[in-house]
Structure 1
Amino acid sequence: MRLFLALPITALLLAGAVPVPVAHAQPQTAASDTGMPAEYADLIALHDELQAYMVPGFTAGVVLDSGARVGEVYADALMAEKLAGLDAFEARLAAMDVAAWPRAAQVDFLAVKSILNGYRFNLEVLRPWKRDPGFYLDPLMRVAFTEVDEDGDDVTALRARLRSVPPMLAAARANLTEVAGDFADLALHNLENSDGVNHYHPYRAVPPAGIIGWYDDLLERARAQRPEIVEEVLAARAALVEFRDWLRADRAGMTAPAGVGAARYDWFIRHVRMIPISASEMVTLATREHERMTAALALLRHRNRDLPPIELSQSTEEQRAKIAATDRIVRDWLVREEIITIPDFVGELGSNTPYIERPTGPNFWEQIQFRDPIPDHVHAVIPGHRFNAVLAARDTRPIRGSYSDGGRAEGWATYLEEATMLAGGTVHSPRADEFMMLFGIFRAARVPADVYMQHNRWNVREAVDFMRAKTEWLDEDVARVDAEIYLRRPPGYGVAYTIGKLQMDALLADRASQLSSDFVLKDFHDQFMASGRLPIALVRYEMTGLDDEVALFWTTPPIPPADQ
């Protein structure tokens, strides 16, 4: 915990043989950090071969789009063959003598190691094609979103996908032999109920009732605009109803745990996400962060007690104007105060929260965004996620250009919230500081929810109740959608925000201490972004040369057995 305890207390990888440990468990810092050794080409080759080997990966949507048969792709024999085939990749990686490599090459080596560990964990532990009905349902919502008022490839592809739905769901029923109870309940809910948040859904004044409801929506549009596809829509919808009825009938026997268990969770956090602390340490740190930010919110509200409240937007036009003004203010501040370089190729990046009128009123995110968009604008737009994506799209490095770590993405974006406040980016709107704290409070509350669901101590209902009790304005729908994400994704995504933010704080402290009066914030941020979307512990090693954290990653022990 060195990295974190140095701070004041008040301050989507997817994922038996025993992996072969790397030959030089703790390589020393190379004399030169420039240039790559000849053997680096072998690492690139291994990386590329590994990615090709795992196609179609662990996303049923990839199979749906490829036209392959789900029952064949996810057959037990093929999955067992894939798992056994990882041994050869691990042996090749272990044979690489990386001790004399420059730090940048060592970091890439560890990144490939994390990818390989993630594939093993998915094949050996997560196995969503056997445990999670939602694995097959998730891509079907996107099918129903397709517009049918245009000619060409989109409609042709839609018809192919629709024809794939009945055999895909029939194969799913055969594959799903170890279904977790929470996964079954979430699938049943999502089949017939709007999630109430509707992230990235096409707008409907009344959101369709779940996945089946979206196929009703597609059916209505097909009857009006594309009668030739009606029979295919009806067949796909009937397959969804049959799948729902099967889940209901067999639900009593679906009792497997949804979480991976405590020991396996810690293995994944360390050897796939490459976070150098344990789950219990993360819960302690997040609890302190929740307390710190709750106290800070009280102080900020006292500071701002004589200021008028910021009112909610009342129309699309008003919200658009707020977003446009916020974007100008943020971009001007980033440049004027020399916070980070904004390359000329970065154009308009849009926004993350459209204006929506809900019968139940604004949800948690909208309660904040419809008042002042700046917390989510710096997190999700610039210089957060969308800005990050534009830079990443131009990264042609063979390993880093295709790597995207959730802890890096969310840690950076969450760091930007309080960093913007402390560096003066909210002086135009003092009450926005309160909203920054509310965001941070919710993110800290996610950590125990993520950990304890994966430890099988809490179910989804208990996680939702905990987060709502700890977070002002948090509604049922946002809390449930968050809990589902953190339970159904590979472990540790829910902790990525707060723990990644703390890693960013610590990295900033390390670099400022090293450089002293030579430290320049803009250079720090630019160098961090240039490192790529790698786990923050790896970026720290490359930027600072401090190897206490990466020392934990060179040797990979076997995945622990399931908790008893």
Structure 2
Amino acid sequence: MMTRRILGFAAMLYAGTAMVPMPALAQAPAAAAAATMPANYPALASLFQDWRRTLLPELADGRADYSPAAMARLGDGLKTYRQRLAAIDRSGWPIAAQTDYKLVEAEMNGLDFDLRVLTPWARDPSFYANVFADWSDVPAHEGPYAHPNINLYEFKYPLNAADARRLTTLLAAVPANLAAAKANLAGGNARDLWKYGSRAFEEQSETLAKLGDGTLVMRTLDGPIPAVMTGASPQLKKAIADARAATDDFARWVAAEAPKKTGATGIGKENYNWYVKNVELLPWDWDAQVALLRRELDRSIAALRIEEVRNRDLPPASPATDPAAFQTLLKARQAKFSQFLADTGLIPDAPWSRTAIANQGMDFVAPDKRNFFDHVTAGDPYPLMSHFTHWIDLARMREAPHASPIRRVPPLFTIYSNRSEGFATAYEEILMHAGLYDDIPHGRELVWIMLANRAARGLASLYVQSNEMNLDQAGKFHAEWTPRGWSDPDSRLVGFEQLLYARQPGYGPSYVTGKLQFDQLLAAVSHADERAGRPFVMRDVIGRVMDAGVIPVPLIEAELVPAAGPR
């Protein structure tokens, strides 16, 4: 959970955005879907393909250009794309086509926001940490990162000659890219982004060290995969060593510069509200999100205490103490979990759905070394496994891609966050209410602790964006409001999470705001069914929700309940 996570499909596009299989963008929608699309829909699909290609920064032998001049050219291009988008006549378009249009519009708003406000290439040192070992459990980067992303898990090991040359070229460019980053960041003054900014490069250095000595194991959708370096050429070994040396140098430079920085880290309420409205398409501004997350924090802690009363006569919970026994329990839980999803219809069943869960392991961690999630999984694997419905989303995207050329690829600018993180969080509680813990009463306590932690850290991140807290204060709040003392404000996990949420506005609250949107979506469909005299069939509703894709929840609701009135 602490590692910088990122998805690997094929070719990474714009900084901190999505892995997109570019050949797929050129394909027309599936025949059945195409029949329902308007005659001029191909104009939108063509614009989208051009748009995604334009977002690639200029490259020369793996070196990217994030200079002020290059970013100005990107801004000029955005104006042209906005004009092309506005020129498309949407008269009489069906809701599905309108949804695709709004997704493209939201991405353009995302670039606008980055150019005007976030400017990660100019203010955020972590932006330039671009070597990744692990496949993310969400559709794209958790936060902005520079192109080209060196996604080690995308390569097949041992490397063939072509892949070895490609990886060598990418890694050989790291020193030049980091040297250019120093110039690009010259005016950066966001204090906490610098104070915490060396951490990503310390992690990158560890990754490169393990890659070089052949001990790197990568987390992927298909399970853990070792990066076997048998037969690595002298050129590749040198590129790895040089990239690590440059990474270490950059970490030292960031740490040395950090004490000079005095500026605010948060973007302020006004900018935050623009982002959530126009990019995330979220109906709740900063003030509403604070109120909602406070309510969920209160509710989860109160529910935990009630659960403890309910379990008062039971033997105390006994966290795992033996690695072998824990792995045996995990395998049993995985099989029962997938069957429970299938039996309830709360996730459409498919072979790749079951495999996605079976491939995601959990490590046994000794009691004195546990972070928050280690404490939870030592109690029982189910709560975090419920969050792993993320991986089912990713398996669906790979094995059963959406018909729309716009929805079959991950949205950019973390537009996916409320749908992806929010739904995964929602499933933790949904599966509890559906009976997953009927024979594991103490497991229900873990679910409420998980929600309290997510609400506390999201609330802290909101205060960072409004500049009412710095990251140290946010980490302390985050830990203080996590029950049972399971969150340490000085841990790498808390530092990683709060830095990520400072770097990417809206991400911290999305676990809870997205969960609440899931509740709202089910309520809207239920209400519409009752009004129409139709039965509400959960299995069918969930199938329709998942079929819509990993897109903002209001767009899913508009497709499922097109005639919904005010509430």
Cross-structure match for 2:443: 432
Cross-structure match for 2:517: 503
- Conserved? CA contact 1:14–1:119, under 8 Å: no
- Determine which of 353, 374, 385 is the counterpart of 1:377: 385
Cross-structure match for 1:493: 507
Give distance in 1, aligned partners of 2:99 and 2:36.
Answer: 13
Quote the offset at 1:348 in angstroms: 1.6
1:128 lines up with 2:141 in the alignment: no
- Conserved? CA contact 2:62–2:173, under 8 Å: no
Give distance in 2, aligned partners of 1:294 and 1:322.
Answer: 28
3-state SS of paired residue (1:431): helix
3-state SS of paired residue (2:283): coil
1:538 lines up with 2:546 in the alignment: no
Cross-structure match for 1:184: 194
Cross-structure match for 1:292: 299
Cross-structure match for 1:108: 100
Which amino acid counterpart does residue 136 of structure 1 have in structure 2?
Answer: Y
- Determine which of 268, 274, 278 is the counterpart of 2:275: 268
Give distance in 2, aligned partners of 1:419 and 1:13.
Answer: 34
TM-score by length of 2: 0.80
Quote the offset at 1:144 in angstroms: 11
Quote the offset at 1:299 in angstroms: 0.6
Q: 1:403 to 1:246 in 2, by over 3 A?
A: closer
State how 1:249-264 maps to structure 2 within 5 Å.
249-264=256-271
Give distance in 1, aligned partners of 2:115 and 2:497.
Answer: 25
Give distance in 1, aligned partners of 2:130 and 2:540.
Answer: 41
Which amino acid counterpart does residue 310 of structure 1 have in structure 2?
Answer: A
Quote the offset at 1:254 in angstroms: 2.9
Cross-structure match for 1:55: 56
3-state SS of paired residue (1:435): helix
Which amino acid counterpart does residue 328 of structure 1 have in structure 2?
Answer: A
Q: 1:549 to 1:241 in 2, by over 3 A?
A: farther
Deviates more, 1:241-250 or 1:426-435: 241-250
Deviates more, 1:137-146 or 1:398-407: 137-146
Which amino acid counterpart does residue 63 of structure 2 have in structure 1?
Answer: R
1:277 lines up with 2:288 in the alignment: no
Give distance in 1, aligned partners of 2:333 and 2:560.
Answer: 32
Q: 1:275 to 1:238 in 2, by over 3 A?
A: same
Quote the offset at 1:510 in angstroms: 1.3
1:68 lines up with 2:73 in the alignment: no
1:528 lines up with 2:545 in the alignment: yes
3-state SS of paired residue (2:353): coil
3-state SS of paired residue (1:35): coil
Give distance in 1, aligned partners of 2:230 and 2:406.
Answer: 47
3-state SS of paired residue (2:88): coil
Which amino acid counterpart does residue 188 of structure 1 have in structure 2?
Answer: S
3-state SS of paired residue (2:438): coil
Give distance in 2, aligned partners of 1:259 and 1:44.
Answer: 35
State how 1:436-451 maps to structure 2 within 5 Å.
436-451=447-462
Cross-structure match for 1:477: 492
Quote the offset at 1:463 in angstroms: 0.8
Give distance in 1, aligned partners of 2:361 and 2:333.
Answer: 13
Give distance in 2, aligned partners of 1:97 and 1:228.
Answer: 57
Which amino acid counterpart does residue 394 of structure 2 have in structure 1?
Answer: A
Q: CA RMSD in A?
A: 3.0
Cross-structure match for 2:171: 162
Cross-structure match for 1:400: 407
Q: 1:323 to 1:224 in 2, by over 3 A?
A: closer
Cross-structure match for 1:4: none
Aligned residues: 492
Unaligned runs of 5+ in 1: 1-11, 16-32, 58-62, 193-209, 551-564
Q: 1:549 to 1:150 in 2, by over 3 A?
A: farther
Larger RCO (alpha carbons 8 Å, 6+ apart): 1
3-state SS of paired residue (1:401): coil
- Conserved? CA contact 2:195–2:259, under 8 Å: no
1:172 lines up with 2:177 in the alignment: no
Quote the offset at 1:226 in angstroms: 5.8
Give distance in 2, aligned partners of 1:549 and 1:452.
Answer: 30
Residue-by-residue CA offset, 1:220-256 (whole Å, 9 max, x unaligned): 5699986935554443343234323433443343333
Which amino acid counterpart does residue 413 of structure 1 have in structure 2?
Answer: A
Cross-structure match for 1:422: 433
Give distance in 2, aligned partners of 1:227 and 1:297.
Answer: 56
- Conserved? CA contact 1:276–1:549, under 8 Å: no
Cross-structure match for 2:243: 236
Residue-by-residue CA offset, 1:305-349 (whole Å, 9 max, x unaligned): 122233222344222222221122222222333434202453422
Which amino acid counterpart does residue 435 of structure 2 have in structure 1?
Answer: G
Q: 1:234 to 1:509 in 2, by over 3 A?
A: closer
Give distance in 2, aligned partners of 1:141 and 1:521.
Answer: 38
Structure 1 vs Structure 2: percent identity of aligned residues? 30
Give distance in 2, aligned partners of 1:547 and 1:85.
Answer: 37
Cross-structure match for 2:221: none
3-state SS of paired residue (2:348): coil
Residue-by-residue CA offset, 1:181-229 (whole Å, 9 max, x unaligned): 212111224445xxxxxxxxxxxxxxxxx44455555565699986935
Give distance in 1, aligned partners of 2:511 and 2:465.
Answer: 17
Cross-structure match for 1:29: none
- Conserved? CA contact 2:319–2:379, under 8 Å: yes
- Conserved? CA contact 1:323–1:351, under 8 Å: no
- Conserved? CA contact 1:266–1:278, under 8 Å: yes
Residue-by-residue CA offset, 1:480-501 (whole Å, 9 max, x unaligned): 1211111123x11111110011
TM-score by length of 1: 0.80
Which amino acid counterpart does residue 48 of structure 1 have in structure 2?
Answer: Q
Q: 1:162 to 1:97 in 2, by over 3 A?
A: closer
State how 1:142-157 maps to structure 2 within 5 Å.
150=158, 152-153=160-161, 154-157=163-166
Deviates more, 1:228-237 or 1:515-524: 228-237
Q: 1:308 to 1:94 in 2, by over 3 A?
A: same
Give distance in 1, aligned partners of 2:367 and 2:310.
Answer: 34
- Conserved? CA contact 1:149–1:225, under 8 Å: no
Deviates more, 1:108-117 or 1:218-227: 218-227
Residue-by-residue CA offset, 1:127-151 (whole Å, 9 max, x unaligned): 2111111111242778797899945
Give distance in 2, aligned partners of 1:397 and 1:236.
Answer: 39
- Conserved? CA contact 1:133–1:184, under 8 Å: yes
- Determine which of 368, 371, 374 is the counterpart of 1:366: 374
Cross-structure match for 1:390: 395
Cross-structure match for 2:86: 94
Give distance in 1, aligned partners of 2:107 and 2:448.
Answer: 34
Q: 1:170 to 1:549 in 2, by over 3 A?
A: farther
Quote the offset at 1:106 in angstroms: 1.4
Unaligned runs of 5+ in 2: 1-13, 18-33, 135-149, 216-228
Quote the offset at 1:471 in angstroms: 0.3
3-state SS of paired residue (2:506): coil
